[in-house]
Amino acid sequence: MRAAFILLASSLAGAGTTGCSDAARTPIAAPEAAAPVAETLQLSNPLILQRADAQIVHHSDGSYVFAATVPEYDRIELRRADTLPGLRHAPGVVVWKRHTSGVMAAHIWAPEIHFIDGRWYIYFAAGSSTDVWAIRIYVLENASANPLDGTWTEKGQLVTNFESFALDATTFEHAGTRYLVWAQSDPSFANNSSLFIGKMANPWTLAAPGVRLSRPEFEWETRGFRVNEGPAVLVRHGRVFITYSASATDANYCMGLLTASDSSDLLNPDSWSKSTTPVFTSSGSVFGPGHNQFTTSAAGTIDLLVYHGRDYRDIIGDPLDDPNRHTRIQPFTWNADGTPNFGAPVANGPLVIETPAG
């Protein structure tokens, strides 16, 4: 089961919020003490220090593969472990380094790894040596069973709607169709990035130009910068959910939610509804939570939110120059209406999650 669990932590982050507007909070009630336990997961936050834009893939062989942005913005590292806690001390393996000149030479950001049709693919963003802000999306491919082995081949730029700032690509398959969701600056209006979705011809090519799903419009999406970025897809309860991150990458950073019926045309913007308030915000001792992804416990009974956050609010200089966005992880639950409830960021320290049997 996924809907109920016992959360035992050294402390929660607290009920007070900072940054974006308050999201709904549902307290987690402990079941009867005598209830048998189906699965126990022992974690600690932060899970991994100085790794932003984190993603954890629970592969079909049972292993966990971790990808994230390194603070030097100069390479792509992966970790692999048999357990989620094992990722904490697993060695980082450099699988690709930035070019010394030309494209893919600067700002190596937000690598995401996906296993598609028997091959591994990494989607990442990069600038060029002549313009570090000419950020575009690129793809790597590896045929090895273990993504930390083998050779990663550059498949080139993933061409999107415009030749403009583009990043944070993720992909998913639904009802026999593979989709790409990404963030890109739309030149038709003032924005840093908006969210797009498109059908894929293969893992590195769009079949047609995508359509815009969301633009930064609410106050909580436009603090510091006008940003919708970092999409992550969750399909459950007859719906397709896309979480995303909004505003500047400081304490204002927070998460929004898009929702569509899983039987609707996902390429039709009218199929999607958008939360008017953020669903995950700065709270207590965790600031700027966002750029999330999802994973599960080994037995699949615990749904987990993977994201980054800082331990302090105030940043000296450009937030992008501050290396202390740490990878964090915590469970989330489901509301009675079938929508995800992410609660509030939990504080640093041990985190024990148990799901009751039955």
Domain annotation for the chain: domains and CATH numbers: 6-356 (2.115.10.20)
Which sequence positions are flagged as catalytic? 53, 229
Task: Report pLDDT digits (tens) over 311-347.
Answer: 999 999 999 999 999 999 999 999 999 999 999 999 9
pLDDT at position 5: 56
Q: What is the pLDDT of residue 200?
A: 98
Name the residue among 38, 45, 49 with its Cα closest to residue 4.
38
β-strand pairing of 349-356 with 37-45: antiparallel
What pLDDT is recorded for position 34?
47
- Which of the 8 DSSP states describes residue 206? E
Query: Amino acid identity of 303?
Result: D
pLDDT for residue 356: 79
CB atoms within 10 A of CB 276: 10
Q: Say if residue 323 is preceded by a cis peptide, omega within 30 of 0.
A: no
pLDDT digits 0-9 by tens, 248-295: 999 999 999 999 999 999 999 999 999 999 999 999 999 999 999 999
- Residues 12-37 as b or e (16 or more Cβ within 10 Å = b): bbeeebebbeebeeeeeeeeeeeeee
User: How far apart are the C-alpha atoms of 96 and 357, rounded to whole Å?
Assistant: 43
Residues 294, 295, 297: CA angle, nearest 5 degrees: 145
pTM as predicted: 0.91
> In whole angstroms, what is the distance from residue 113 CA to residue 150 CA?
15
In the DSSP assignment, the letter for residue 286 is B
Q: What is the pLDDT along the chain (358 residues), one digit of tens a residue?
A: 444 555 654 444 444 444 444 333 333 333 344 456 689 999 999 999 999 999 999 999 999 999 999 999 999 999 999 999 999 999 999 999 999 999 999 999 999 999 999 999 999 999 999 999 999 999 999 999 999 999 999 999 999 999 999 999 999 999 999 999 999 999 999 999 999 999 999 999 999 999 999 999 999 999 999 999 999 999 999 999 999 999 999 999 999 999 999 999 999 999 999 999 999 999 999 999 999 999 999 999 999 999 999 999 999 999 999 999 999 999 999 999 999 999 999 999 999 999 877 6
For residues 58, 60, 61, 63, the Cα torsion angle rounded to the nearest 10 degrees is 0
pLDDT for 24 equals 34
* Residue 145 in tokens: 């069973």
User: Can you tell me which residue has the tokens 């904490």?
Assistant: 88
Q: 9: closest CA among 352, 358, 357?
A: 352
Q: Report the alpha-carbon distance of residue 37 to residue 34 in Å, rounded.
A: 9
For residue 124, the cross-strand partners are: 138
Per-residue pLDDT at 150: 96
